[in-house]
Structure 1
Amino acid sequence: MLDRLQIVKQRFDEVSDLIIQPDVIADQKRWVALNKEYKDLKALADKRDEYVNILGNIAEAKEIIADGSDPEMTDMAKLQLDEASSRLPELEEEIKFMLIPKDPEDAKNVMVEIRAGTGGDEASIFAGDLYRMYTKYCEGRGWRTSVVDMNEGTAGGFKEVIFEVTGEDVYGTLKFEAGVHRVQRVPQTETQGRVHTSAATVMVLPEAEEFDVQIDMNDVRIDYFCSSGPGGQSVNTTKSAVRLTHIPTGLVAQCQDEKSQHKNKDKALTVLRSRLYEMELAKKQEEDAAKRSSQVSSGDRSAKIRTYNYPQGRVTDHRINMNIYDLPNFMNGDIQKMIDEIQLVNNTEKLKEASEVF
C-alpha cells in the first residue's frame, strides 16, 4: 500500500507545482481540471501522511518497549502503541476505498429522462412527482437544472420530461436512480378508495462531450416544428422547436424549451449525443455486470428498483432491501440517505473486487 501511496504523493506534488504555473493558469480548462485533480489527490495525500505517521509511531513505541530502560517512557510507549494499532486497520480501510479507481463518468453532468409508464393519468402525475423530487434534491445540492423537453399529462404531471443537471459529480450521485419507479396510492380520480399501482421510468444519461461522441450531421435528419404548451406569444406560431433523428440508430431527440431555434438545436444535439454515448456505456456496463453479480444496477431501465407506498408512508429500494418511513420528506427531495446507502453497497462490492491488489 505504501508504494501506491508514494505514487499518489509524487503526483500530488507535481500537480501542486503545475497549478501555480502562469501558462497553466492562462489555460482555464486545464487549470480547472488540475484543480479538481489536486482536490482529489489532497485527500489521499493527507491520509498517506497520517498513515506514515502512525507506522512511525508504532515502530518508535516498539523500540522503547523493547529497550525497557525507562519505566515511565515504556508506559507511555504502550499507550502510544495501543492507540496507533487501533487506528491502523480503520485507516487502511479508508485508504483502500479512496484508492479504488473512480469511474471517469462520475464527474459528468447528466440528462435525466422521466417517462410515465403503466397507470394512465396517475402514472403521468407520478412522473411529475419524481421530477419535483429530483429538482428539489438538486436545488439542495447547489446543482442547476434546466428543462430540455416536456410532454405534459392530461391530468397533470408529465408523459415525458427531460432535464439537464449540471454540478459537481452529478452522474456519480444520480446514476443509481435509473430504472423503474413504482407508486402505490389512491389516485385523486378513484371514488372507492382503492389503491392503484402505477410506474414511471427514470433514465440518467452522462452528458457526452463532442470528443466523446462524433456525430456525422449527414446522418441526422432535422425537423422544425411549432412549440406546444406554455412559452409566450411565439408558441404555435414560430417553428422554433427542433427534432433530430439519427438515421443509423433511429434515436430521436427534440427540444422546444427555448425560443431560439438555434438554442433548441444545440440542446437537442446534446441529448442525442448523450443517448448515443449511453448506448455504448450500457454495453460496457453489461460486460462489467457479467463479470460480477452486482445487486446495484446503474443503467438497466427495465429493472424495478424502488416502490413508493403512500398508504404506509414507506419508500423501499429493492436492490438493497432498505425501507425509509418518511415518504413526504423523501418526495420533497430528502433522498440523500438512500443514495448514500446504495453507494456504500456499490463501493463495498468494488472493494471486494480490488482486494487482491492490496
Structure 2
Amino acid sequence: MVRQQISIILLGTLLVLTVSCASLQKDTLASTVDDGLSGDIADIAASIVPLDTSAGFAQVLDARKTIRDLEQKEIKDTVFEATLLAWSGRLFLIEGKRPEALRALRRAQTLAPGVTAVAVLEARLKSSAEERLAFLDSFRDLADTPAVIEIERARTLGELRRYREAVAAWDAAFPALPTYYRETYGSEREQAWTLRSISPDSSASSDALAAKPEITLTDALTLIRDETTLLANITGGSLWTTDRLYRDLNNRGIIPVDSLGTVRLQDRITRAHAAWILWQLNAEHRAQPGLKTRYSDRIRTLPNPKSPVLDVPHGSRWFDSVMGCVEWEFMNLPDGKNFFPDRPIPGIAFMEMLRRVN
C-alpha cells in the first residue's frame, strides 16, 4: 500500500503526459512504464530521501546498487530515464560528487526537463539559496508533484532564515507525502517553528543561540551585543569580547549575584538572572539609576508591604528587576501569579525579551 502511494506521488509523470517547463516548451512526453518499474523508482525515492539527514555508508551503497540495477535494464522511456537520472544525480550530491550530478542533470534535461525529480536536482545544483528559491517558485505551479517542490522550498527558506515561511511550506507539504518525508525533515520543521519569530536580519550565530533550550551567561552577553544597542553607551560601538564585557558589566553591578556567588560566563542563566541583567541594562541605557531600586523604594512607603508576585517576595535580591521587567512587559508571569525565577531561559525567549527592551 505504501509502495503504491509513493509510486503515485513521485512518479505521476510516468503515468500521464508531462509538460516540459525548464524552457517552457509545449511538447509532451508520454510514459509507457509499467507499475512494477514505477514502484522501483518509488523505492529509490524512499531510500534516498532519508539520506539527506542520515547518510550512512551502507545505505548509500545500497541505493547506488539499486540505481545501477535499473540502469542495466535499459528501459527506453524518456520520462523514466530522466527520473532515474535525477535520483542518481541527487545521490551523487550526497556522495560529494558534484560533477557527476551535473552530468546527470544535463542528460535528464535532454529527456524530460519538466519532471519534478529533475527540477529538484536542478534546484540543488544552484549556486545560491536565493537562486534556488527563485527557481523553485517558478516551478511550483507547474510541477506534477507540487508537495515535493514545497519540501525543497521549505529547506531553502530555512537556509535563508525566513523561518515563518518555511513552517508554512513544511505544513503544506507533509500531509501530501509519504511518512518518510516527515521522519526525515521533521526536525528541520521544528527548528523553523522554534525560530519563527526571528528576523532574517539577525545574525546566523544568533540563530544557533536562539535554538538552545538553555543559555549560558556567555550566550546572553553575545545576544545582547549582537542583537541590540543596549551596550552602545558602554562600548562606544566597538565589538567587545564577552570576556571584556563580563569584566566591565561586573564592575557596574550588571552581572547578577545569586546564593552561589557572582554568575560566571559558563553558568546557565535563570529567569531571575535574565530579569536582573535586562533591568540593570535598561536603567544604564536610559541613564536612570533610580530605576534599579524603584519598586523597593515604593513598597517601603506602604503600611503592609507585600509583593504582588507570589514567588519573588519583597526583600528578595530579584524584587526590583522582576517587578520592572513584568511591569514594562519585558518578561511575564507564566501563570499570572508566579515568576518562576529558577527556571532556565531558552535562547529564543531571551531574544524576544531583548527585542522588547531594545
TM tier, smaller: under 0.3
Provide the TM-score with structure 1 as the length reference.
0.26
Q: Which has the higher contact order (CA 8 A, sep 6+)?
A: 1
**Bigger helix fraction:** 2
Q: Which one has the largest radius of gyration?
A: 2
